[in-house]
Amino acid sequence: MSLSDHPRAYGTAALAVAFIAGIVVTLGFKDLYPELESRYERRQKRYGKLGTASARSRRGSILFGPVSLEDREEPSASMTALGRAGGIVDGIEGTIGNTPLIRLRSLSAATGCEILAKAEFLNGAGGSPKDRVALSMIEAAEEQGLLSPGRGDCIYEGTVGSTGISLAVLARARGYHAHICMPDDMAHEKSDLLHHLGATVERVPVAPITDPAHFVNLARARAQQHTAAADTPSRGFFADQFESRANYTAHMKTTGPEIVAQTDGRLDAFVAGAGTGGTIAGVAKHLKEAAGLAGLRVVLADPQGSGLYNKVRHGVMYSATEREGTRRRTQVDTMVEGIGINRITENFEAGRGLIDDAVRVTDEQACRMARWLVEHDGVFIGSSSAVNCVAAVVTALKMPPGSRVVTILCDSGTRHLSKFWKHIAAMGLEDDTQEQHEDLLALLGIQRSQPVAIRM
C-alpha cells in the first residue's frame, strides 16, 4: 500500500516533513535574529519611533532566509536630528534634539521624589529649546514657499533672545539673513551674541503688545516692509513664534517623544514655564494625548508679575498687583527672561486645557535656586531654568514619595551674566557657599504640602 492510495496519510506526512524542515531552518538562522532585532530597534530609536515598533509589520520569510527590517517612512530634517547620539550628522541642524535627561540629585534628595531635567541648553545650534522651534518654523516656511535659499530672504522675529539666537544660527546655515527685534532691557550678552552671529539687531524700548513699537509688532512690520520693497526679489519672513503652530508642534513631535523614551513612559508630573507657551503645550499634548499618560500632572512654572498663573489657577489674567503703573516693567514685573507674559498666545491656548496647576516663583527664589544648583549639582543655568526648578520642587512636595517629576533646563547661565547672575552676586549669594544652608526648602521658604493622589 502506497501513500498515494491514502490522501489523508500523504497529507499528514507532508506536513510533518515541512514542520521538521522549518525547525531545521529556524535553528540554522537563529543566531542572526538577535542582530536583526538589534538593528531594527536602533533604527526605530534613531527616529524617535521605538514606542511604535510593535505596531509595525516585521516582514520576512524563513524559507528564503532573513531579511532586513526596514522603516520605509522618510524622516524629516527635524526627526533626523534626533539621531545625533553617535556618528556623523548633516550640518548644524543635526545637533538639535536628543538632549540628555539629568537627575538633579540635590533636588531629588530634598523632596523624596526623582526630579529629572531635560538639558535643552545642550542643543548644539543655539543652545536652548528654541533650536527645535526655529528649525520647525524655517522648515514650515520653506515647504510653503515663504523662504527660498539664495534669494536674499530674511527672517524677522521679535524675541527676548533665545529664539533669535537659534534663528540667527540656522538662517546662516540655510542661506538666509536674520533681523531680530528685542526689548532693550534684556541682557546685553544676548544682543552681542546675535551681532557676532551675523544678525541685524534692534533693541527697542519696552512697550505693551498693543503698541506698534512693541518688539513683536516691529518685527512683523519690518518683514512686511522687506517683502513690499520693489527693488529686490527677496522676501521678508516673520517667524511669529508666539502664534506659529510650528512652535508647539516641534515639541509635540520631538521633545515629548524623547521624554517618553528616556523615562520609559514612567513619569508623574511635567513642569515648565511659558513665554510663547510652545514647550508646555507641545510636550503636554504628546504626553497626555499621544502617549496616553492621562494621569500625568502638567504644572506651569510662572515668574512673579506674569498673568498666566492666574489664568490657570483662577481663569483670569488680571490681579490687583498687576495694574498698569505698579510694575517696574511694562511687560512683566520680573528679572526673569524668556518666560512670563500677560496675554494668551495661540501656542499656550493649544495646550491650556491640559495644564493641571501653576506655581508662582519669586525672583528671590529663582536666584537662590540658581546658586544652589551650582553649589550642589554643578549646574549653571539661566533665570527661566531656575524658575522651572523651583516649581519642580514645589510640585514634587505635593506628590507621593518616589514620584518622578520632569522639568526643562532652558539655557546656560552664560546668557544671563549681566543681569540675573549680577543680581545673584549683589544678593551676596556668591560670597556665601551656602554650606550653612543645607535645607533647600528653608532656603526657598517652601513648606511641605500634603501629597496629592496620582490619577490612574
Task: Please count the other Cβ atoms lying within 10 Å of the Cβ belonging to residue 175.
Answer: 13
Does residue 49 have an active-site annotation?
A: no
Side-by-side strand order, sheet with 200-204: 200-204, 177-183, 154-158, 236-238
Cell for 19? 514542520
For 296-319, the DSSP string reads PEEEEEEETT-SHHHHHHHS-S--
Beta bridge partners of 162: none
CA dist., res. 260 & res. 2, Å (int): 63
**Measured CA distances, 14 to 7, 18, 28 (Å):** 10, 6, 21
What is the Cα Rg of the chain in Å? 26
Q: Do residues 388 and 336 lie in contact, with contact meaning Cβ atoms separated by under 8 Å?
A: no
CA dist., res. 138 & res. 155, Å (int): 9
Cell for 342? 500677560
H-assigned helices in 353-427: 363-377, 383-397, 420-426
Cell for 236? 521678508
Q: Which of 30, 49, 118, 130 is catalytic?
A: 130
For 76-129, the DSSP string reads PHHHHGGGTTSS--SSGGGGSS---EEE-HHHHHHHTSEEEEEEGGG-TTTSST
Q: Which of 427, 270, 434 is nearest to 356 (CA)?
A: 270
CA 285 to chain centroid: 12
CA dist., res. 358 & res. 312, Å (int): 6
Task: Please count the other Cβ atoms lying within 10 Å of the Cβ belonging to residue 235.
Answer: 20
Q: Determine which helix (DSSP H) or strand (DSSP E) holds 157, and give its type and residue range.
A: strand 154-158
Any idea how long the chain is? 456
CB environment 54-82: b (16+ within 10 A), e (fewer): eeeeeeeeeeeeeeebeeeeeeebbbbbb
Residues that are catalytic: 130
